[in-house]
Amino acid sequence: MSQDSQHGKWTISDSEDEDNIIPPTPQKDSNKPSIKPDLERKPDTVTTFFKQERKLSPKRNEDTHSVKEPSAPSMGSEARKAAHVNQTLPVKYESHPSPSVKRKRETEEAGWNLSSSDDETPPPAPKKEPKKSDVSPKKKKTEDKRPPSPHGTSYYKEEPADFFETNLLSMNDMYRFYLNKVTGIPKKFNTGALHIKDILSPMFGTLKESVQFNYCFDIPWMVEQYPPEFRKMMLLWYEEGFRVIILTSNLIRADWYQKTQGMWMSPLYPRLPEGSPGTAGESPTNFKSDLLEYLEAYRAPELAEWIDRIKQHDLSETRVYLIGSTPGRYQGPAMEKWGHLRLRKLLSEHTKPVLNEERWHVLGQFSSIGSMGLDKTKWLAAEFQRTLTTLGKARKSLTSPETQMLLVYPSVENVRTSLEGYPAGGSLPYSIQTAQKQLWLHSYFHGWHADVTGRSNAMPHIKTYMRVSPDYTQLAWFLVTSANLSKAAWGALEKNNTQIMVRSYELGVLYLPSAFNMSTFPVEKNVFPASSSSKGFPVPFDLPPQHYSSKDQPWIWNIPYTQAPDTHGNIWVPS
C-alpha cells in the first residue's frame, strides 16, 4: 500500500521485520564508474577458521522447542548483509544533476546482475556457432578490481607506524573494554584504543591459531592484519594460552576505518594442569560454561577442537557475564538462556535496587532497528523495558512511575557531517518500510554525539545498553553487544509468555558492579588518552544524550537525501 508522510509518498511492504527488507539498489551519476565492493571472496590459503553467523528462518512450527538450522549458513539479516556486501553508493552533488543510471549487480566476481526475484534463474545463454574471422583475437579483458570503498580506490590511507600501539602501558585492564582506532581524528583519542592489527600483534602473545565468528569477511584484507609470522590459522590461541575477543565490527576494512566500534578483550587464559577436573577454570560469572554452551549451539563439527581447548584452560579471572542469542523457540528453563530474558535473569540475580530507582534512565544505543509493532506496548515498553529496568528481585508496583528510556541513533545530519559522509549510512540499515509503521518510536531518539571520545563524526556500529543515574555520573550496569534494537536479536515472547523466539546469533558481555566489588560504576569523564590507573567506565558517547531537535530525522537508508552534500560533496540517491 502507499501512504503520504513527512518523508514523501512511499510504498509500504507487508514485512513485519527489518530482516526481510530487500536492500536498496542506489543510483549513480552516469559520468562516474560503478563501484563494486569485494567483500566476500572465499578463503584461499588462509587456515584461520572463519565462521559465518546464521539466522533462523521465519517459517517454523511454533510448538516445537528445538529448531532445525538452515542447511546452508547465511550472512545474518538481509539488512546487515546488504549494509556491507551491497554497499550503497554516493552521487556527486550538482546544481543541475545529470541523468543517473542504475547500478547493475552480477553474481560473478566482476559485478552483479539483479533479477526481479531473488529466486529467479536466468535463462541459459543461446548456443552460438563458431565462425571464422580474419580479425585478430581480442585481448583478454582485464578483470576489474572492486574498490574497497564507495569513495573509490584512493579513499583508504595507510596508517603511519605511530598509529598503532607499541606497548600495553596505556591499556586499562580493569574493565577490558576498548574502542577501535579511528582514522582522521586527533591522536590523543586513539591512545589506548585498538586496531585489529594491535589485537593480533605479538604484544598480546605468540599467536598460533584463531577462529573468527562474524557476518562479513574481506579475507585478503583480514590476512594483511596478521603479523607475517602469525598468518597461519576471534578465539585466539597462543603458545602462552588462549584469549577471547568479543567485538561489534565485521572483518572488513570499512568497519575498522572511520566507524565507532567496541570490544571486550579477555585476559590471557593459562592452560590448566594436566588431570584437572572438568569444572576447573570456571569464573565467578560462569563465563566458561556459558561460552562453551554458546559454541555448542552452533552444532558445527569444526568447532569441536576449539571447545576441547577451552575446556583445558583456566578462565577464572573473567569478570564479565556472557549474553548470547541463538536461533530457536525456547520454553521452560531454557527461556532464560538466551536473549533479553538471559539479561533479565542476570540483572535479577546479581544487582540490587537503588534509591529513586525509577529516576535511573535506561539507555540503548544501536546501529539498526527492527519492527517494534504498532505502538510501544507491543514489545519495546513491555517485555523489553521490563528486562532493562530489572534491578534485583524486587517487584515494581503498578503505581510506580515509568522509567525513562533513551534511545541513541544517528540523525540524517549526524550521517551527512560524518567522516565518511552519506556512505556511513550504508551500515545503518533502518528502512522506510519499517520506519513508517512505527513513527511513535522516533520520539525516543537522541542523536550521536561523542566528543568525550573524539568520535562524534565516526558513525557508530557499536551497540551498547546501560542503566544510568539521574545525573549521568554512575552506571548500574553496562552491556556491549552485537544485538541491535530488534525482536530478532533479543527475542520476543509468544504463547501467552510461555515461549520466547530468537531469530539470530548475537553475543555480548555484561558488566555488573558486583563482579568488581563495587556498588556502581563511575562514568569516566576523560576517556582519552586512556590511562591504566583510571577507575571510571569509558562510556563511548556523551552523557546526557541530546534529544533530536525539531529539524532532526532518524537516518533512513533507502530514501534520497539531495538537499545538501555530505563532507565529500556527495548526495544520497537510492532507487
The secondary structure element, H or E, covering residue 323 is: strand 321-325
Which residue, chain included where needed, has cell 542447511?
Answer: 71
- For residue 479, which of 346, 348, 337 has the smallest C-alpha distance? 346
CB count within 10 Å of CB 287 equals 22
pLDDT band at 238 (very low <50, low <70, confident <90, very high): confident
CA atoms within 13 A on the CB side of 125: 3
pLDDT band at 365 (very low <50, low <70, confident <90, very high): very high
Taking only the tens place, the pLDDT of each residue in 92-150 is 665 544 333 233 332 222 222 222 222 333 333 334 444 444 444 444 444 344 445 66
Tell me how many helices (H) and strands (E) the chain has.
10, 23
52: Cβ contacts below 8 Å, ≥ 6 apart: 73, 74, 75, 76, 214, 215, 217
pLDDT of residue 172: 67
318: Cβ contacts below 8 Å, ≥ 6 apart: 266, 267, 283, 285, 287, 288
pLDDT of residue 175: 86
Q: Is the peptide bond before 43 cis (omega within 30 degrees of 0)?
A: no
Of the two residues 213 and 309, the one the predictor is more confident about is 309
Taking only the tens place, the pLDDT of each residue in 262-280 is 999 999 999 999 999 988 9
pLDDT band at 251 (very low <50, low <70, confident <90, very high): confident
Q: What is the mean pLDDT of the chain?
A: 76
pLDDT of residue 269: 95
User: Where is average pLDDT lowest: 10-19, 175-184, 248-257?
Assistant: 10-19
239: Cβ contacts below 8 Å, ≥ 6 apart: 205, 206, 208
pLDDT of residue 229: 41
**What amino acid occupies position 143?**
E
Q: Which residues sit in the known binding site for substrate?
A: 232, 463
Q: Distance between CA 416 and CA 551 in Å, rounded? A: 14
| Grid cell listed for 421 | 559522509
pLDDT of residue 465: 98
Q: Which residues sit in the known binding site?
A: 232, 463
| Residue 331: pLDDT over 60 | yes
pLDDT band at 68 (very low <50, low <70, confident <90, very high): very low
Q: Distance between CA 563 and CA 393 in Å, rounded? A: 52
Query: Given its phi and psi angles, is residue 75 left (phi above 0), alpha (psi -120 to 50 degrees) or beta?
Result: alpha
- Average pLDDT in the 346-367 region? 95
Partnered with residue 453 across adjacent β-strands are none
Taking only the tens place, the pLDDT of each residue in 279-300 is 899 999 999 999 999 989 888 8
| Residue 180: pLDDT over 50 | yes
pLDDT of residue 344: 97
- Average pLDDT in the 327-335 region? 96
In the DSSP assignment, the letter for residue 83 is H
Asked if residue 62 lies in contact with residue 330, where contact means CB atoms within 8 angstroms, the answer is no
- For residue 183, which of 152, 151, 216, 160 has the smallest C-alpha distance? 160
pLDDT of residue 169: 62
Q: Distance between CA 32 and CA 439 in Å, rounded? A: 36
Asked if residue 242 lies in contact with residue 293, where contact means CB atoms within 8 angstroms, the answer is no
Percentage of the chain lying above the pLDDT 90 cut: 50
- Average pLDDT in the 368-393 region? 95
pLDDT of residue 208: 67
Angle at 272 between CA 271 and CA 273, to 5 degrees: 120
| Residue 322: pLDDT over 50 | yes
Query: Which of the listed ranges 82-86, 235-239, 399-403, 435-439 does the model predict with the highest average pLDDT?
Result: 435-439
pLDDT band at 174 (very low <50, low <70, confident <90, very high): confident
Q: Distance between CA 121 and CA 210 in Å, rounded? A: 38
pLDDT of residue 21: 39
**What amino acid occupies position 433?**
Q
Of the two residues 557 and 220, the one the predictor is more confident about is 557
Reduced 3-state DSSP string for 423-485: HHHHHCCCCHHHHCCCHHHHHHEECCCCHHHCCCCCCECCEEEEEECCCCCEEEEEEEECCCE
- For residue 209, which of 242, 177, 246 has the smallest C-alpha distance? 242
pLDDT of residue 473: 97
- For residue 570, which of 9, 29, 17 has the smallest C-alpha distance? 29
Taking only the tens place, the pLDDT of each residue in 416-474 is 999 999 999 999 999 999 999 999 999 999 999 999 999 999 999 999 999 999 999 99
- Average pLDDT in the 508-527 region? 95
Residues involved in catalysis: 461
DSSP alpha helix (H) spans, 50-125: 78-85
Burial of 439 (0-12, 13-18, 19+ CB in 10 A): exposed
CA distances, 539 to each of 244, 263, 307, 529, 536 (Å):
21, 12, 32, 14, 9
**What amino acid occupies position 100?**
S
Q: At what angle do helices 304-311 and 287-296 cross, to 10 degrees?
A: 170
**What amino acid occupies position 377?**
T
pLDDT of residue 398: 52
| Residue 156: pLDDT over 90 | no
Q: Distance between CA 333 and CA 184 in Å, rounded? A: 48
| Grid cell listed for 78 | 538481509
DSSP alpha helix (H) spans, 10-101: 78-85
User: In residues, how long is the chain?
Assistant: 575
In the DSSP assignment, the letter for residue 194 is B
What do you get for the CA distance between the two ends of the chain, in Å?
Answer: 18
Phi, psi of 546 (to 5 degrees): -95, 125
pLDDT of residue 198: 82
| Residue 37: pLDDT over 80 | no
pLDDT of residue 195: 85
| Residue 518: pLDDT over 70 | yes
Task: Say what the pTM is.
Answer: 0.75
| Residue 187: pLDDT over 50 | yes
pLDDT of residue 78: 44
